[in-house]
Amino acid sequence: MAETGASPLPPTPPTSLAHTPLTRAEQFVWLTARVLEQRRFAYHFLGGSADAVETALAAYRNADEGYGHALAPDLRGPVSQPLHTGQALRVLDSIGRCGGQRAERVCRYLTSVSTPDGALPAIHPSQRAYPAAPCLPIVDTPPSDLLATGPVVGLLHGNGVWHAWLFRATDFCWQAVDSLEQSHPHEIEAAVAFLDSVPDRPRAEAAADRLGRLVRGRRLAVLDPEELKDAAAYPVSPGCVPGGRHFPYDFARTPDSLARAWFTDEEMTRSLDFLMAGQREDGGWPVLPHCSTRERSPQRPWAPGIALESRPVVTIEALLTLRAYGRL
């Protein structure tokens, strides 16, 4: 007989739900994730509050309205960085809070760190005083970077944000996208993030069609995971470590992305099957290698805890992609 005042035991989940990909991922998140990722998971999959996500995200915001404090785990330290701020905008966009005065304040920070042509650098020199992944070089005069700028500009356009900085940044993105010839897969991803939301839809569709032919022609996406058994079938792009290949779902995160037209239904199904199969026994998805470095082996994390912080982020993104395609 239970003691008076004892808390009731939680209900036992039905056997049919006990080992689904989502419930396994939930256990992984509660076991390993930061508060922000716990609240993001709760919002997206458990009916949690958007306010709770925004409160957790606010802990990473600085007085300059940028974001720091290792929000993106590969950059440590408190200083604001475009990489952190882009991640913050993605979180805000996912909960429907990427607009209004909040976005205007972020744009003021982005203006303060942008290059002369209005683009964002990958890493601002202020990071020099703090640890960073060896594959992220820190220079005194960082170049304009499509990888940093494209996704941010796309998100802001997708949320109807208008700011003086956006005009210059948009012009930079168009020039960068139009000049992509022998591109790296990550540049294509950034270009898609821009093209999916930029207002000039006819121009975006034409640019996406050209990039799709480039992706297929240069075999930048693994169209049949079975062919990975042949190392020569999909050569790793320069700048990627062994294993750092891309799949259709990396480019077309949702069915309404312009990149979805690049792949047949069969190719998309195979890639989503491969993504689903990537869930590990502990319920999380792995952090796949994405850049090369001479300083350290790509098979080892460059600092303790980086993979532990990163895996819940990757896991949530994998789940969101699978759900967008009706796979959860």
The 8-class DSSP code of residue 261 comes to G
CA distance 89 to 100: 13
Q: Please name which of 173, 110, 113 lies closest in space to residue 147, comparing C-alpha atoms.
A: 173
pLDDT at 298: 39
Alpha-carbon separation of residue 41 from 18, 36, 155, 166 (angstroms): 17, 9, 21, 31
The pLDDT assigned to 290 comes to 47
Nearest in space to 185 (alpha carbons), one of 214, 207, 206, 223:
214
Is residue 295 pLDDT above 80, yes or no? no
Residues forming a β-bridge with 61: 67
pTM score of the predicted model: 0.88
pLDDT of residue 244: 65
Mean pLDDT of 252-259: 98
pLDDT band at 15 (very low <50, low <70, confident <90, very high): very low
For the stretch 178-205, pLDDT in tens is 999 887 899 999 999 999 999 999 999 9
Residues written for the chain: 328
Phi, psi of 127 (to 5 degrees): -70, -15
Query: Tens digit of pLDDT for each residue in 19-34?
Result: 899 999 999 999 999 9
Q: Compute the C-alpha angle 29/34/38, nearest 5°.
A: 45
Q: Is the pLDDT score of 12 beyond 50?
A: no
Model confidence at 7, pLDDT cuts 50, 70, 90, reads very low
CB 26, CB 283: distance < 8 Å: yes
pLDDT above 70: percentage of residues in the chain? 86
Dihedrals φ, ψ of 130, to 5°?
A: -135, 160
Task: Look at residue 293 in the predicted model and tell me its pLDDT.
Answer: 32
Write the DSSP assignment of 58-88 as a string of letters. Answer: HTTB-TTS-B-TTSSTTB-SSS--HHHHHHH
Residue with the bigger pLDDT between 140 and 7: it is 140
Band of residue 16 on the pLDDT scale cut at 50, 70, 90: very low
Q: Which residue, among 10, 110, 22, 111, has the nearest Cα to 316 in the 3D structure?
A: 22
Q: Which pLDDT band, with edges at 50, 70 and 90, does 294 fall under?
A: very low
